[in-house]
Structure 1
Amino acid sequence: MNPPSSVLIAGASAAGLGTAESLRRKGYRGKITVLGAEPHAPYDRPPLSKQVLAGAWEPERALLRPRDALDALDAAFLLGDPAVALDAAARTVRTASGRALAADAVVIATGARPRTLPGEDGLAGGSVHTLRSLGDAAALREDLLTATRAVVVGDGVLGAEIAATARTMGVDVTLAGPQPAPMAAQFGTRVAELLAAVHAEQGVTLRLGTAACGLTGHGGRGSGVRLADGEVLPADVAVIAVGAAPETGWLTGSGLTLDNGVVCDAHCRAADGIYAVGDVARWHHAGIGALLRLENRTNAVEQAAAVAGNILGEEKPYTPVPYFWTDQFDAKIHVHGQPSPDAEVAVVEGAVEDRRFVAQYRRRGRITGVLGWNMPKQTRLHRQALLAEPPAAALAAGA
């Protein structure tokens, strides 16, 4: 198979940049074009809810590469011009400015967009925020610096991280969400309750177990969050972190299969010469025998390398062991595999009461996940037990 003479990457994200870099590392010398919706050069998203929001980092520090490293890629970066349509048969992307960009191979790396709550649009210019971009982080930080009360809606990883950061900034923070404890769906009850205790000890008010159903406002500014039971949580600042939807609206009519992402085969191929990578990709994981979509930095980089190889003819299925991490207050949590709330949890090193431990998650006698709390090195070692399981059986058990 001859390599394509040109590759167009729609999305200047970590996944998009990673695809370009992987192509060059693998010896590709053809034309690479990277199309970005934002005016910024590619940057890292995990620090936005932590170091950038807290002010520990200047926004420029979140950039993934310095200018000279981007120049060394010999790729054309077309920034501030989002993709608006794709003709998959012609492998041509049309942009908001009217460009028509054609290539032998197209990589979709447009990521995801934050979900919103009813009433949010009418308060877009006020004190209601989502957090996805550098601009979002700057705007939220500016409001938090003068806020007294903040409500974070969303008890997943992003919401919990934002709540922790806002609290360290001295803001009175309430974390609201439908789960019994933060990140219960990812960690299960035992670990999630420990995380809830950490937040409570640091002064975060937990209003969990009831979903938020909308926002209240006055004069174009948000004034509170309305819960499903009718209670209104007053807030100077409201942050909505209720998940993200894959950015696929621009692909309507493209001929691709769109279902909670761009549906791809085991090689992350959505159609002949069309690939998807990162948060937007929902691909067939041969290990679990099902479609999978992951929203995290590690997957973006690993999938980018796999897609680059498959563009160049390697034809290898992408079968990662999922991994993510989160930092909240003094808790550094690393997760490998697919822990689930109904799994059996056993501490295999350290002690929960010391808040330094490694836990294994098992279903039907098989290890499906490994979680480490303030023990990153030991967690990596215990990951080997997860890798030793037959991939299909181990991951399917956690699916």
Structure 2
Amino acid sequence: MAHFVVIGAGQAGASLVAKLRAEGFEGDVTLIGAEPVPPYQRPPLSKAYLLGEMEESRLYLRPRGWYDAHDVTLRTATRAVGIDPEAKVVTLQGEEPLPYDELALTTGSNPRVLPADIGGDLERVYCMRDLQDADALAPELVAGRRVLVIGGGYIGLEAAAVAARKGLHVTLVEMAPRILQRVAADVTSDFFRALHAGHGVDVREGVGLDRLLGTDAVTGARLTDGTELDVDFVVVGVGIAPASILAESAGIACDNGIRTDEFGRTSAPHVWAAGDCASFPYRGGRIRLESVGNAIDMAETVARNMLGQQVPYDARPWFWSDQYDCKLQIGGLNMGFDNVHVKQGEGGAVSHWYYRGAELIAVDAMNDARNYMIGKKLIEMGKSPPPEVVVDPATDMKALLKA
């Protein structure tokens, strides 16, 4: 009987094994995860879980009993340290080698950390990526304390929002000229800068970290403009990198992640990849997406292809971020946009519509779920209504889907 092995027990890995069973695969399935808990949701870690509004058990994608009921061998606290594609064997740390017939890599991504020579190895310096990170950070969130958040991307902004809601004094530094510069237009940056300032966050743009101060634990920070801050702890949110070292060490081709074809195949026979760790063909280029939606959709496509169905992966990018009482929803990819149009909604809702020439390519919606859904569907359908029509308050937005 065939044995399918999946390395990486996150959203993609859990989705892949569930899809294998849903598609009728009756062979052996093993899911390997380095963490000691079943696969769980990561987005709530930096939001509801850190705020104490969600218990750990509610994070789990499925109860542990689901894996037994569906005959999936879930091996938690187990680390894969090598792959031999020719022998079709996975090497596990401290355990017997594990043979496979088909192997899927859903290893996700790792947070970028501060170098030790600028204080990154001091105590009370935290990243925010997994459950262990959240559990370590939670006791620091005491009203009146001072936190420095390094990085003005979504992770940094979400951490700043949680700390501000908890009553901490929050300073956020972003070395780029504006927050969200890598991922959003200036109007979206303006919206979130004002949102955070309104909650008391000291947002400093165009200034980075020179070094952290302290002997064993961090006590302060020197910024690149010479400013020194007293801080009680630091949260680092300076991006993530694909967890591709296992593939690289096995000689599997990597290109900003584990390189796959349109079906999720890697350069090694019988080895596949999906989720944050995988780069794949997209509209004449190659991309890697860091999102729950991509993790689920690509993993399910790869599961079908491991069963021989030959289904090309059709990525339909979407993302979200929760900050204070604002839900940001993003549809599409704004790469290469040359103009952005602002649509005002009801009750303070607003959406930003990205165009490349006359083509609608993405939408950012702040507390505007209705226009987000319409924009996302328009992009997926390949429809690009003129921007003056989109932003006109008199436009029947749903009618644009039928035009």
CA-CA distance at 1:263 after TM superposition:
0.9
Q: Structure 1 residues 191, 362: CA separation in 2 closer, same or farther (over 3 Å shift)?
A: same
Task: Give the aligned partner of residue 134 of structure 2.
Answer: 137
TM-score relative to the length of structure 1: 0.91
Gapped regions of structure 1 (runs ≥ 5): 392-399
- Which 10-residue stretch deviates more, 176-185 or 52-61? 176-185
Q: Structure 1 residues 178, 93: CA separation in 2 closer, same or farther (over 3 Å shift)?
A: same
1:241 aligns with 2:237: yes
Among 207, 228, 250, the residue aligned to 1:232:
228
- Which 10-residue stretch deviates more, 295-304 or 112-121? 112-121
Give me the whole-angstrom Cα distance separating, in 2, the residues matched to 1:100 and 1:230. 53
1:223 aligns with 2:216: no
Q: Structure 1 residues 213, 341: CA separation in 2 closer, same or farther (over 3 Å shift)?
A: farther
Could you give the per-residue CA deviations for residues 172-201 of structure 1, whole angstroms, max 9, x where no partner exists? 011111233332322210111011000000
Q: Structure 1 residues 229, 163: CA separation in 2 closer, same or farther (over 3 Å shift)?
A: same
Give me the whole-angstrom Cα distance separating, in 2, the residues matched to 1:54 and 1:66. 23
CA-CA distance at 1:225 after TM superposition:
3.1
Give me the whole-angstrom Cα distance separating, in 1, the residues matched to 2:118 and 2:306. 40
Task: Give the aligned partner of residue 78 of structure 2.
Answer: 81
Among 230, 244, 265, the residue aligned to 1:269:
265
Task: Give the aligned partner of residue 368 of structure 1.
Answer: 361
Could you give the per-residue CA deviations for residues 79-116 of structure 1, whole angstroms, max 9, x where no partner exists? 10111111122221111123311111100011111111
Among 305, 310, 316, the residue aligned to 1:310:
305
Q: Identity percentage over the alignment? A: 34
Could you give the per-residue CA deviations for residues 28-48 of structure 1, whole angstroms, max 9, x where no partner exists? 111100011111111110000
Could you give the per-residue CA deviations for residues 132-152 of structure 1, whole angstroms, max 9, x where no partner exists? 111110110112237610011
Give me the whole-angstrom Cα distance separating, in 2, the residues matched to 1:120 and 1:83. 30
Q: Structure 1 residues 216, 91: CA separation in 2 closer, same or farther (over 3 Å shift)?
A: farther
Alignment of 1:59-208 (within 5 A): 59-119=56-116, 124=121, 126-145=123-142, 148-208=145-205
Give me the whole-angstrom Cα distance separating, in 1, the residues matched to 2:113 and 2:211. 9
Q: Structure 1 residues 145, 99: CA separation in 2 closer, same or farther (over 3 Å shift)?
A: farther
Among 332, 345, 348, the residue aligned to 1:355:
348
Q: How many residues align?
A: 383
Preserved CA contact (<8 Å) 1:167 1:173: yes
Among 53, 56, 67, the residue aligned to 1:56:
53
1:333 aligns with 2:292: no
CA-CA distance at 1:259 after TM superposition:
2.8
Give me the whole-angstrom Cα distance separating, in 1, the residues matched to 2:109 and 2:214. 27
Task: Give the aligned partner of residue 394 of structure 1.
Answer: none
Q: Using CA pairs below 8 Å that are at least 6 residues apart, which structure has the higher relative contact order?
A: 1
TM-score relative to the length of structure 2: 0.90
Task: Give the aligned partner of residue 7 of structure 2.
Answer: 10
Could you give the per-residue CA deviations for residues 107-133 of structure 1, whole angstroms, max 9, x where no partner exists? 001111111112279664621001111
Give me the whole-angstrom Cα distance separating, in 1, the residues matched to 2:225 and 2:271. 46
Preserved CA contact (<8 Å) 1:189 1:341: no
> What SS is found at the alignment partner of 1:54?
coil
Amino acid at match of 1:44: Q
Preserved CA contact (<8 Å) 1:340 1:361: no
Give me the whole-angstrom Cα distance separating, in 1, the residues matched to 2:264 and 2:27. 21
CA-CA distance at 1:255 after TM superposition:
1.6
Q: Structure 1 residues 123, 321: CA separation in 2 closer, same or farther (over 3 Å shift)?
A: closer
CA-CA distance at 1:359 after TM superposition:
2.6
Give me the whole-angstrom Cα distance separating, in 2, the residues matched to 1:147 and 1:82. 40
Runs of 4+ with deviation above 6 angstroms: none
CA-CA distance at 1:299 after TM superposition:
0.9
CA-based RMSD: 2.0
Give me the whole-angstrom Cα distance separating, in 2, the residues matched to 1:108 and 1:284. 17
Preserved CA contact (<8 Å) 2:337 2:354: no
CA-CA distance at 1:27 after TM superposition:
1.0
Task: Give the aligned partner of residue 378 of structure 2.
Answer: 385
Amino acid at match of 1:132: R
Amino acid at match of 1:347: V
Give me the whole-angstrom Cα distance separating, in 2, the residues matched to 1:232 and 1:172. 15
Preserved CA contact (<8 Å) 1:331 1:374: yes
Task: Give the aligned partner of residue 295 of structure 1.
Answer: 290
Could you give the per-residue CA deviations for residues 215-258 of structure 1, whole angstroms, max 9, x where no partner exists? 2222x101233333333333101011101111122334312012
> What SS is found at the alignment partner of 2:140?
helix
Give me the whole-angstrom Cα distance separating, in 1, the residues matched to 2:121 and 2:94. 25
Preserved CA contact (<8 Å) 1:86 1:94: yes
Gapped regions of structure 2 (runs ≥ 5): 385-403
> What SS is found at the alignment partner of 1:269?
coil
Q: Structure 1 residues 260, 217: CA separation in 2 closer, same or farther (over 3 Å shift)?
A: farther
Task: Give the aligned partner of residue 211 of structure 1.
Answer: 208
> What SS is found at the alignment partner of 2:222?
strand
> What SS is found at the alignment partner of 1:185?
coil
